[in-house]
Amino acid sequence: MPKIIFFLLFGFAMNAQIADSLKTANPIAKTDSIHFLKPTFATDSVAPCKFKYKQLIIPAALIGYGVIGMESDWLKGFNSQIREEVTEDIDEKISIDDFSQYAPMASVYALNAFGVQGKHNLRDRSMIMASSYLMMSATVFGLKSLTHIERPDGTSKNSFPSGHTATAFAGAEFLWQEYKDQSIWYGIAGYAVASGTGIFRMVNNRHWLTDVAAGAGIGILSTKLAYWMYPYVKDKLFPSENKKVSSMIAPFYNGKQMGCGVVVGF
């Protein structure tokens, strides 16, 4: 049963996006007396982040499943059945989930430290991750304080949703977004670790399946929202960096004189 749940979580969570490409022009100017040689154009701009509704389907389905499970007698019964299956023959708590929740996020910085460049620089990726964790944490703690769902082990009434799972899946989506253009296996590994974290939350008798599903959805959605919002946030925080600038450098020679012309447009 744990293997089945792992593949369900893993399969639901994985997704892919198609990156857009930029086209550049390289015209050559010419006059009767002055020859311009290989002018070079450079553009610095912030690409708008496209909001795609279909990317909301998976996280919305996971969150919806968790919310419905709070009131559905059938899903509550299924929760209990899953709990019996995954905790069978487990005598001691396995605390790996306390550490694995941070592994996908930490992997982004580790890969960069070893020279594998991600999509964004250190500042931008850190601000995106901070935004994601802020939204995720606010949502998780807000729901915990409102729902008062008892944990499977009976220790407290803040089971819904799983914060460990939300943290892990937020990091997995972060890893996917930063390195999917390098290799999809980075993202796949991140989602595998996140799914394992969710499984261990149930194995350790700390969460129901519905808690884990909702946590996964919240984590994924928080990071997606952070990426969608960041171009606009960056434009407000660092306006001078996000102005579109076009420049042209054109060396010339008219038979007697040599020079270099520079044109910059804002």
The mean per-residue pLDDT over the stretch 58-63 comes to 97
- The total of other beta-carbon atoms located within 10 Å of residue 205's CB is 17
40 pLDDT band (50/70/90 cuts)? Answer: very low
pLDDT in tens, 92-138: 888 999 999 999 999 999 999 999 999 999 999 999 999 999 999 99
Q: Is the pLDDT of residue 2 over 50?
A: yes
88 pLDDT band (50/70/90 cuts)? Answer: confident
For residue 42, what is the DSSP state?
E
Q: Is the pLDDT of residue 91 over 80?
A: no
pLDDT in tens, 208-263: 999 999 999 999 999 999 999 999 888 888 886 655 555 555 565 556 666 655 55
30: phi then psi, degrees, rounded to nearest 5: -150, 140
pTM: 0.76
Q: Where are the beta strands (DSSP E) in the chain?
A: 35-36, 40-44, 245-253, 258-265
8 A C-beta contact, residue 250 and residue 239:
no
pLDDT in tens, 62-78: 999 999 999 999 999 99
Supply the pLDDT for residue 94. Answer: 85
Q: Is the pLDDT of residue 43 over 70?
A: no
Show the tokens assigned to 127.
Answer: 């601000």
- Domains of the chain, by residue range, sit at 2-20+50-240
The mean per-residue pLDDT over the stretch 134-160 comes to 97
Residue 245's DSSP bridge partners are: 44
Q: Which residues, other chains included, contact 110 with Cβ-Cβ below 8 Å and sequence gap of 6+?
A: none
Q: Is the pLDDT of residue 185 over 60?
A: yes
31 pLDDT band (50/70/90 cuts)? Answer: very low
For residues 60 and 56, give the distance between their C-alpha atoms in angstroms, rounded to a whole number: 6
Q: Is the pLDDT of residue 42 over 90?
A: no
- Percent of the chain surpassing pLDDT 90: 63
Tell me the one-letter amino acid at 189.
A
